[in-house]
Amino acid sequence: MKKTIPALLLMLTLASCNGWVIQPGPNPPTPFLPPTNTPSIFTATPVVIGVSSSTPQIATSTPIATATSFVPPTSTSTATNAGAPTFTPTNSTPTPSILVEVLGCNTSIDVTHGMGEVTNAFVTLKNTGNVALTNLRATLNALDEGREHPDKTVEVTSLLVGYEVTLKLTVDSTYQEETPIQVEVTGDGGLFQRTGAASCRDIGLLAPDPDGLYTPVPGNP
């Protein structure tokens, strides 16, 4: 007991030198920090709409028929016994047409009608359409015309398709003068054509046969 007391006094004396009863270690204590949570890492995953992860969707296309324009046939064919097709035109619209040709002129003296010199024009009418022409009227006009001649206008009752007729038309004209003429053709369909000549050439010996005038005949192909 006596030995213990002096030892305690010695320890207190030593401790009073720096104010610490228990000396700290050489390293300061580490302050206490609360534990931190590890941040979560999210990886962006693309979202595909309409696609299943188990069975992939395969896009298919359905062909759509395109509209084509229908062109009606312009002609029909019928097989014959010989095997050659016969074509029948579908266009049956009546189309009247006429060709007026002045063949030439000559002059003469018309005593019968009390006239002096007259000019005769020889004209051919050709039906070039696809319908018969009816009640045709061919009229001859002259620039120096005097009195109206009875044969100034000639009528043709009917002219079939592909037929032609030659007429002789006469006008009262000035003696020994050049005579510009004009031929006008009308019918049931109205005015067809006007054909003129500044000076009708002399037909001479090429004048048509009088017996063949005013009679329709098949035209030349």
Is residue 159 a contact partner of residue 165, using CB atoms and an 8 Å limit?
A: yes
In eight-state DSSP terms, residue 204 is: G
> Both tokens of residue 68?
């084509």
Is residue 144 a contact partner of residue 108, using CB atoms and an 8 Å limit?
A: no
Q: Does the residue 193 lie in any domain?
A: yes
Tens digits of residue pLDDT in 65-78: 444 444 444 544 44
pLDDT score at 196: 87
Q: 201: domain CATH number? A: 2.60.40.10
Q: Does the residue 66 lie in any domain?
A: no
Q: Does the residue 89 lie in any domain?
A: no
Whole domain around residue 179: which residue ranges? 98-218
Prediction pTM value: 0.58
pLDDT tier at 83, thresholds 50, 70, 90: low
Tens digits of residue pLDDT in 143-169: 888 899 999 999 999 999 999 999 999
Q: What angle do CA 111, 115, 117 make, to 5 degrees?
A: 95
Tens digits of residue pLDDT in 53-67: 444 454 444 444 444
Percent of the chain with pLDDT over 90: 36
Phi/psi of residue 116, each to 5°? -85, -120
pLDDT score at 77: 42
Number of domains into which the chain is organized: 1
Is residue 143 a contact partner of residue 202, using CB atoms and an 8 Å limit?
A: no
Q: Does the residue 114 lie in any domain?
A: yes
Tens digits of residue pLDDT in 15-43: 444 444 445 545 555 554 555 555 544 44
